[in-house]
Amino acid sequence: MDGFRIREVRVAQGLTIAQLATAAGVSAAMVSQVERGLADPSLATLRQFARALDVPLFDLFEAAPRVSPVAVTRAGKQVTITSPNGDTSYARLSVPYGQLEVLRGELRPGGVSHEEPWSHPAHECVTVVQGRLLVEVDGEFHRLEEGDSCYFDSRLPHRLVNETEQPTRFIVAVTPPSY
């Protein structure tokens, strides 16, 4: 995690460390340590920063915006993050600063994407590439097999669950990119 990107976004928005800390629900010391590369924030904390800065989560990992209307993301060069519980990993397949975020995900056996369903302002479509997936949206459960997809309004509380003994691999598209 490059704390400089958080500092860059915070300064561009005219926020002080204290203002970002308050908005993100963390201490000013935490913001300062992350920006200076002295602390490695959890995924939950990064989401709090992204929400407070009103930027997509993966934008906190990227350099300055690309100006080309065409960009290629090379295999093995994608930014990857893992959930705090270690159950889920995501690799960003799309380029930063677009209107659509595409992620490749893997959910370990018995794992969940989030301990509790959560929401954010976007729309998502998840497609199972390998295995089976249970998609919980607003208290309803939708079982997906390989090749199945599920589209939903991300403002509804949601999460992904792997009830099997095998890893589940999936692709998720999110628009607009969000936390």
The residue extents of the domains of the chain are: 3-55, 80-175
Q: What is the mean pLDDT of the chain?
A: 87
Instruction: Please say if the pLDDT value at position 2 is more than 60.
Output: no
1.10.260.40, 3.10.20.30, 3.40.190.10, 1.20.120.1760: which CATH number matches 3-55?
Answer: 1.10.260.40
Return the closest-CA partner of residue 177 out of 63, 5, 4, 50: 50
CB 126 within 8 A of CB 133: yes
Cis peptide before 176 (omega within 30 of 0): yes
**Taking the model in full, what pTM does it have?**
0.68
Give the whole-angstrom CA distance, residue 88 versus residue 177. 18
pLDDT in tens, 107-152: 999 999 988 999 988 899 999 999 999 999 999 999 999 999 999 9
CB 34 within 8 A of CB 53: no
**pLDDT bucket at 1, cuts 50 / 70 / 90:** very low
